[in-house]
């Protein structure tokens, strides 16, 4: 690592201002610092945080070197990294998913249980990304993370725009599964808006060539090449206004069942639970 600040101070200026004259004919390999922090691009915040705390050196460190598959990929400013670690820890402390920053399972369960206990009428939308695993395998985890963050943003924006009273709630169950709560008369509109925004994002997610072809060639689980479909969404909607829901587990079971029915259809699909139990 060649640190700009220390290079200028030690090797260009030097102790008495003769640094450049003394080092002019040295090779850069003789001036580089051998002790520096190096991480692979897929290293987690937790691992980075531990390494930073354990790293012992007399040199201050402003930057971290990042590699991808062993080759140089870029530099991360230490202050930005520490800010990201702190933000990640805050999300975890709040029970939020660190990737989408949306409330996770514990908060989702508490929110739904509280509404059931108050005899509120609300609709639950269970959102699942179709064909996400082959997408992740083919395009890479970074693109996969972008998909998750993008869908979380779409759900949050849609709820905010459609429900000015703040009744809506968005959560990230985990992986490629999300959930949203709305007033009963808004759920269909919210689901349609989420689908429309996500579908419009497909060229950015897959690239214009693959999106234009409606699919892409990738290796399947057997190692052979197969034409994979583009990403799509399956949304199952359950309403407590028509179903006699008494607990979170009961609601989660029905929502999962309806979501699975939506996934049985090809492409983007929205399925509403049709049972009338009241």
Over 50: is that where the pLDDT of 278 sits?
no
Over 70: is that where the pLDDT of 9 sits?
yes
State the chain's maximal CA–CA distance in angstroms: 89
* Among 12-16, 43-47, 184-188, the least confident range: 12-16
Domain membership flag for residue 159: yes
- Please check whether residues 143 and 238 belong to one and the same domain: yes
Over 50: is that where the pLDDT of 277 sits?
no
Which residues form the domain of 260?
94-272
- Please check whether residues 159 and 268 belong to one and the same domain: yes
Domain membership flag for residue 277: no
pTM of the model: 0.68
- Please check whether residues 76 and 40 belong to one and the same domain: yes
- Please check whether residues 133 and 251 belong to one and the same domain: yes
Q: 99: domain CATH number? A: 3.30.70.270
Q: 56: domain CATH number? A: 3.10.580.10
pLDDT in tens, 131-176: 999 999 899 999 999 999 999 999 999 999 987 577 899 999 999 9
- Please check whether residues 122 and 221 belong to one and the same domain: yes
Q: What is the pLDDT averaged over residues 191-216?
A: 95
Domain membership flag for residue 278: no
Domain membership flag for residue 64: yes
* Cβ neighbourhood burial of 252 (10 Å; 0-12, 13-18, 19+): buried
Domain end marker among 28, 63, 87: 87
């Amino acid at each position: 690592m060649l640190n700009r600040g220390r290079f200028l101070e030690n090797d260009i200026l030097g102790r008495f201002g003769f640094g450049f004259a003394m080092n002019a004919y040295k090779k850069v390999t003789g001036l580089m610092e051998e002790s520096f922090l190096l991480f692979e691009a897929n290293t987690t915040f937790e691992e980075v945080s531990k390494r930073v705390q354990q790293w012992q050196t007399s040199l201050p460190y402003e930057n971290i070197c990042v590699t991808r598959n062993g080759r140089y990929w870029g530099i991360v400013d230490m202050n930005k990294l520490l800010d990201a670690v702190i933000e990640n820890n805050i999300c975890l402390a709040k029970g939020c998913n660190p990737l989408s920053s949306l409330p996770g399972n514990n908060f989702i369960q508490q929110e739904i249980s509280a509404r059931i206990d108050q005899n509120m009428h609300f609709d639950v939308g269970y959102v699942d990304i179709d064909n996400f695993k082959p997408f992740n395998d083919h395009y890479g985890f970074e693109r996969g993370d972008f998909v998750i963050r993008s869908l979380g943003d779409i759900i949050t924006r849609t709820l905010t725009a459609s429900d000015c009273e703040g009744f809506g709630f968005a959560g990230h169950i985990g992986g490629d599964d999300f959930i949203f709560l709305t007033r009963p008369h808004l759920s269909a509109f919210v689901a349609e808006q989420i689908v429309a925004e996500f579908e419009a994002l497909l060229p950015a997610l897959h690239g214009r060539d693959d999106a234009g072809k409606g699919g892409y060639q990738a290796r399947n689980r057997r190692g052979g090449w197969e034409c994979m479909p583009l990403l799509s969404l399956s949304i199952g909607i359950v309403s407590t206004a028509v179903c006699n829901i008494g607990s979170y587990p009961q609601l989660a079971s029905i929502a999962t069942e309806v979501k699975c029915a939506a996934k049985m259809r090809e492409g983007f699909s929205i399925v509403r639970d049709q049972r009338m139990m009241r």
